[in-house]
Amino acid sequence: MQASRDDFVIAIRSAFLKKENKQKFSLLALIFLTFIILVSEKFNFKPIDYLKISLREVAYRSTFIVSVPENFVKKSYVTIVNHFNVYDENKLLKEKLDFELSKNYNFEYILEENKRLKSTIEETNILTSEIIGKVLVDKKSPFLRSVIINRGSKDRVELGMAVMDKSYLIGKVVEVSFTTSRVLLLSDLNSKVPVDIMPNNIQSILSGTGDNEGVIQYTRQQDLIEENAIAFTSGAGGLFKSGIPIGKIFKDSSNNKTLVSFFSDFSQLRYVKIISFKEETE
């Protein structure tokens, strides 16, 4: 019994000794292999180079294969996020479109309501015809602001016709010859135009100052006129049709005047529109 126990202990001790030898051998082999690789790099051995290239290739391929699931997940996440972003953007654009359509419907309703009110008060519709003219001469003096255009009676130009730069009123025809006409600008001292000042719908008279702006006169509602309000033709007196934009209101605190800055620069006029506003006849 004692002999068998001693044999068992000896066998275990022998196994540990063998294991220790194996570990020592493995460590020495690893050190030796590292030394060989370092020396081979210094002397540039071809087999070692091929081995390193092969190991790098295996590492790169392994990295690519391992990164495929990760890249797939990232790409899927970005696709899903973009999908929801496009969805939200499409929803927002649809809401904006619905809002714009509602404004168009309101505009159509206002137009129809305006027609109904006109028919109620028996107001006639206005027919317009326009002639394009070129500015030939700019007559400037301290008190006279007018221009000559190359359109006259042969072109069906008549006294009192409105003259516009784009969609803005700039004056009216005051003299007509066969081939030319003279236009009195709104800035002339002799110019008087009935206007509506929006948004408060204040009726007044716009007079020329002989300078580059007009002045609001003959109104008891000066205090109600707002800065940056817009002056339109009122249509009073049948001189011009209503609603033609003229300029923007500004206040001169130095002399307590309400002035109008014209939308058009009269010193830069080259081509103008001569327009006739006539009542529609059935």
**CA–CA separation, 274 and 159 (whole Å):** 11
CATH number of the domain bearing residue 191: 2.40.10.340
User: Does any domain span residue 148?
Assistant: yes
Which tokens in the block code for residue 87? 């969805």
What whole-number distance in Å separates Cα of residue 116 and Cα of residue 111? 9
The model's pTM: 0.55
Q: If 0-12 CB within 10 Å is exposed, 13-18 middle and 19+ buried, where does residue 94 land?
A: exposed
Stretch 108-127: mean pLDDT: 61
pLDDT digits (tens, 9 = 90+) for 197-255: 988 888 899 999 888 899 998 877 777 888 888 999 988 877 788 888 999 999 888 88
The whole-number pLDDT of residue 253 equals 80
Residues with Cβ < 8 Å from 190, sequence gap 6 or more? 184, 208
Structural domain contains residue 183: yes
Largest CA distance in the chain: 149
Residue 214 per-residue DSSP state: E
Task: Provide the mean pLDDT of the chain.
Answer: 76
166: in domain:
yes
Collect all residues with Cβ–Cβ distance below 8 Å to 59 and sequence separation of at least 6: none
Q: Which residues is 198 bridged to in the sheet?
A: 230
The token pair that represents 81 in the structure block: 């996020």
Distance CA 31, CA 251 (A): 95
d(CA 192, CA 208): 7
Which residues span the domain enclosing 258?
A: 128-279
Decide if pLDDT at 134 tops 90.
Answer: yes
Question: 3-class DSSP state for residue 266?
Answer: helix
In a domain, 36, yes or no: no
Give the pLDDT of residue 103: 60
Please tell me whether residue 122 adopts helix, strand or coil conformation: coil
The answer to whether residue 159 sits within a structural domain is: yes
Q: Which helix (H) or strand (E) holds 106?
A: helix 46-120
Radius of gyration (Cα) for the chain, nearest Å?
A: 46
* 208 belongs to a structural domain: yes
Residues 6+ apart with CB under 8 A from 168: 244, 245, 246, 247, 262, 263, 264
Per-residue model confidence as pLDDT tens digits over 57-106? 666 666 667 667 767 777 777 788 777 778 778 878 877 776 676 566 55
Indicate whether 238 belongs to any domain: yes
Please count the structural domains in the chain. Answer: 1
CA distance 187 to 223: 23
